[in-house]
Chain A
Amino acid sequence: MDKAVQAAGAHASDVNYLNHETGLWSWLSTKDHKRIGIMYAISLALVFLIAGILALLVRAELIGPGQTIMDAQTYNEAFTMHGILMVFLFLVPSIPAILGNFVLPIQLGAKDVAFPKLNLASWYVYMVGAVFTMLALVYGGVDTGWTFYTPYSASTGGGVLWMTAAIFVTGFASIFTGINFIVTIHKMRAPGMTWNRLPLFVWGMYATSIVQVLATPVIGITMILLILERTLGIGIFDPALGGDPVLFQHFFWFYSHPAVYIMILPAFGILSELIATFSRQRIFGYRAIALSSVAIAMLGFLVWGHHMFVSGQSAVAAIVFSLITYLIGIPSGIKVFNWVGTMYKGSIWLQTPMLYALSFLFLFTIGGFTGIMVGVLAVDVHLHDTYYVVGHFHYVMMGGSVIALLGGMHYWWPKITGRMYNETLAKIAAVLIFVGFNVTFFTQLVMGAQGMPRRYYDYVDKFTQLHQISTVGSWILAAGLFLVLGYGIWSLFNGEKAPANPWGAATLEWTNVSSPPDPHNFKRTPLVTRGPYDFHLADEVFGGDGSAGDGSGDVRMPEPAPAAPEPADGDK
């Protein structure tokens, strides 16, 4: 453990949320937001593992032209399953359900989310969705791609019904989380926690929740209509019955484009926490970062048509969608510049979470720029449905969302588990993931620009070399991720006990709560008197010398918020 981390403060008391009740049933019936976060973490880790292995198999198949390890039908089902699991069952719930559940109420100074039972219901509903996904495999698999485009999805393989039902059901889990967070943020803030003192992670989750609540019902009705199309032939999407397959695309992307922001806005929230804490600097442009999240959430509803540039929608629609798509670059750019501005003249402390934050900046910027290129109408006609698009969305979704989740998991790991992880191994893993990721997906950008179509089982010889590089990259990436899994599990049992605030962060979950937290979070409700990133004040109190950047100086500890006056005796 770093000396700085070691010096950082007292250890937790013996009773915490992990051990105050024991037994499987105490977990399955818990209404504690922290435990629900952990249940989600375990379920999502499993989904990520399965979907990741599918990705490795798909890449292995593509290491040479022709059949390598599976036939074409299996290949179609494998990449479809990879996409569905990753998008609907992993990326959409990931950060809100794990870190949002765990951290958000504590950051607000609340004892729990507003509706704890609804929160638990969300996990159960999610698990039902996961079971339905498995049933889809049993009933013949799905080979439509994760977009379920009609009319193919209305007639192919038996698993589609179960899979669409799964997506309908997991949508409820997402809506429950969104409602819970919006109400919690509006109504459950500790005294003194004004909107201008909300940690930026909370702002990110707030914007996300708005999208979850407003977009998810639309995929719900789309899935119902698709189910009815298959069972009753209602003729809304099927052209043979007078329906319109482009209408399906409109419905589908009206959800699925905003869903991209369900995946990336929480990542922005995490980034702001990481950059501020590990630069030991008051965040630059707090309000701009906060409001740009809301702006992205709003604009995100107006751009779905850029997925349909070649679908036959009207030219006017395409031009308008293209223009609005560019606009999203503005708030995204504001964020990136503000993060860089925060780091400027900060004393940067290169712990693992900060490594992830930096790789996020690099990868997300590539993801953003390639997004602008596919947003250009004429260019998109060339790039549409090529590996360029695959590369682009992996840069945004994996290089953005997953990297931020990894950074956030490392950052909050001591708080969640009460244990430190092995810093050296963690840094090696972070570098492996960064390198492996770029080798895998930058190659795909090149391939796509050269004309390699996405989803294809076979390809012409000139792409062989690039496919091989990409496949080798996927192995490096996998090595890094398995390393994370390995030292994570090791740390659970053998990691050093974590202090309450190993990073010297200034938000409530670090300053006022032990690691791991008490069952009801706070011993006394905090009275918030300053903003979430006031390292400056801490400097005055603790006489920080600015030398923490090399890890040898002291970590400047922001002081805890004072306790709010007790409202009533019986209200424990």
Chain B
Amino acid sequence: MATETAPATTSAGDVHAHQHPPHLEHHFVSSEQQFDSAKLGMWIFLATEILLFSGMFVAYAVFRQWHPDAFLAASNALNWVMGGTNTVVLLTSSLTVALSIHFAQKEEQRKMVWSLLATLVLAGVFLVIKYFEYTAKFEHGVYPGSFFDPHGAHYAYLADIPFAAQFFSIYFVMTGIHGVHVLIGMALIGWIAWRANRGDFSSEWYTPVELTGLYWHLVDIIWIFLFPLLYLI
């Protein structure tokens, strides 16, 4: 700790090549300092996101511990094929968003825009599948909490299981809040794609692309925990 160094001053390259690069904000000494700050800030923000979800994971763990049979039976009512498809969709979207950062570094403008748009489409597919899953439940009265009133061939048996309602409460709350994050991610990616198309980014400066990518990976990772917990075990 004692030997920690001060922030790097502007490198010789910065000084000679660009006296004042347009993306460099006035309060930073160098592009490097600005980029490192943005990235550290994003990582800390992602830590807060994980803690936000942790409250729900704790609730899941507590109620699963208390009512293992109810959770097992209720979990069977979820459509693991749809959930599994969504997992593949999200993993693919993580690949495309990573590619967009790669193309930004290579200054391949068109490819960057296309891979961002591909990410956007995959996120849309995820939500569409989610929509079908939700409506299939709602049609048969499988609502969260006090509105829980299962009926119909595949769901009627849930009515006889005490605490099954809580499984669906947790299911809808967790996937719902995850879905909100997907929506926010789509807005961000759309905005980044628009800016990329305008030519805002270069190999010198692509911080927003990289930070949006980090956010999207987090959305993906949270789903990777949600899927087995809710659908498989």
Contacts and interface: CB of A to CB of B under 8 A. Distances in A.
B62 A247 contact: yes
Interface in A174-219: 175, 178-180, 182-184, 186-196, 213-218
B62 A190 contact: no
Contacts of A178: 44
Nearest to A572: B26
A110 B27 contact: yes
Given A175-B48, A218-B54, A243-B166, A224 B37 contact: no
Interface stretch (A112-120, A158-166, A334-342, A349-357): A112-120
A569 B27 contact: no
A242 B4 contact: no
B145 A241 contact: yes
Nearest to A194: B4
A233 B30 contact: no
B169 interface: yes
A189 B6 CA distance: 6
A518 interface: no
A17 B225 CA distance: 49
A191 B15 CA distance: 18
B147 A236 contact: no
Given A111-B27, A568-B15, A235 B145 contact: yes
A112 B45 CA distance: 20
Given A251-B55, A572-B26, A234 B7 contact: no
Interface in A104-157: 110-112, 114-116, 118
B9 A567 contact: yes
Contacts of A116: 25, 27
Interface string B57-96: 0110011000000000000000000000000000000000
B51 A235 contact: no
B14 A187 contact: no
Contacts of A221: 52-56
A114 B41 contact: yes
A234 B144 contact: yes
B233 interface: no
B229 interface: no
B145 A179 contact: no
A250 B54 CA distance: 13
A235 B165 contact: yes
Given A213-B47, A214-B47, A196 B1 contact: yes
A184 B169 CA distance: 40
B177 interface: yes
Contact of B33 (A112, A188, A251, A525): A188
Interface string A221-236: 1101100110011111
Interface string B162-184: 11011001101100010000000
Which has the most chain B C-beta neighbours within 10 Å: A193, A232, A234?
A: A234
B2 interface: yes
Which has the most chain B C-beta neighbours within 10 Å: A175, A193, A221?
A: A221
A570 interface: yes
Contact of B10 (A111, A194, A235, A571): A571
Contacts, number: 158
Nearest to A175: B48
A234 B36 contact: no
Interface string B28-43: 1110010011001100
A182 B20 contact: no
Contact of B41 (A115, A196, A228): A115
B18 to A, nearest CB: 8
Contacts of B29: 525, 567, 571
Contacts of A218: 51-52, 54-55
A567 B6 CA distance: 13
Nearest to A210: B44
Given A225-B59, A232-B144, A571-B29, A192 B48 contact: no
A375 interface: no
Contacts of A188: 7, 27-28, 33, 37
A192 B15 contact: no
Contacts of B172: 234
B45 A179 contact: yes
A238 B89 CA distance: 36
Contact of B146 (A115, A232, A567): A232
Nearest to B16: A568
B10 A233 contact: no
A191 B9 contact: yes
Contacts of B33: 187-188
A234 B27 contact: no
Contacts of A220: 52
Contacts of A213: 44, 47-48
A244 interface: yes
B4 A217 contact: no
Interface in A227-269: 228-229, 232-236, 241-244, 247, 250-251
Contact of B6 (A118, A194, A215): A194
Contacts of B63: 236
A242 B162 contact: yes
Contacts of B3: 194
Contacts of B28: 188
B146 A114 contact: no
A318 B84 CA distance: 42
A568 B19 contact: yes
23 contacts: A114-B41, A175-B45, A186-B40, A187-B40, A188-B28, A188-B37, A194-B2, A214-B47, A214-B48, A214-B51, A217-B51, A221-B55, A225-B59, A232-B144, A234-B146, A234-B173, A236-B63, A241-B145, A241-B146, A241-B166, A247-B62, A568-B19, A571-B26
Interface of A: 110-112, 114-116, 118, 175, 178-180, 182-184, 186-196, 213-218, 220-222, 224-225, 228-229, 232-236, 241-244, 247, 250-251, 520, 525, 528, 567-572
Given A220-B52, A225-B56, A232-B145, 6 more contacts: A182-B40, A194-B6, A214-B48, A221-B56, A229-B145, A232-B147
* Shortest Cβ-Cβ A-B pairs, 10 listed: A233-B146, A221-B55, A570-B20, A234-B169, A234-B145, A570-B19, A112-B27, A217-B51, A111-B27, A217-B52
